[in-house]
Structure 1
Amino acid sequence: MSQILDFQNRNSKSWMDGKEKKPNIYFMRAKFEVDDEFYTSYHEIRKEMEDYEEYFKNKIIICPCNDGFRSNFYHFFNLNFQKLELKKLITTTFNLNDPKAKGTKIEVTENGITETELQGRGDFRSDEVKELIKQADIIVTNPPFSLFRDIIEIAIEENKQFLIVGGTYSITYKKIFELYKQGKIWLGNNQVQIFTRPNGTKKRFSNISWFTNLKSVKHLEPIKLTKKYRYNEDKYPEYDNYKIIEVTNYKNIPIDYYGVIGVPLTFFLRHNPAQFKILGCDFEIKDLYPELVKWDYKENNTRSAVLNGQEMFTRIIIQRKSGLKPRAMLKNQI
Structure 2
Amino acid sequence: MDTPVVAEGLEKRYGETVALSGVTLSVERGEVFALIGPNGAGKTTLVRALTGTTEPDAGTARVLEAEPTAVDRDRLGVLPQAFSPPGRLTARELLAYYAGLYAEHRDPEDVLADVGLADAGETWYEDLSGGQQRRVCVGTTLVNDPGVLFLDEPTTGIDPAGRRTVWRLIEALAEAGTTVFLTTHDMAEAERLADRVGLLAGGDLVARGTPEDLVAEHAGSSRLEIETTAEPSAFEDLAFPVAARGEEVIVRGVSPADIGAVVDYLDARDLEYSGLSWSEPDLEDVYLALADETELERTNRTDRTGETLAHTGETA
> TM-score by structure 1 length?
0.30
Q: Give the structure, 1 or 2, with the largest relative contact order (CA under 8 Å, sep 6 or more).
A: 2
Q: Which has the higher helix share?
A: 2
Structure whose alpha-carbon radius of gyration is higher: 2
Q: Structure 2 length normalisation: TM-score? A: 0.31
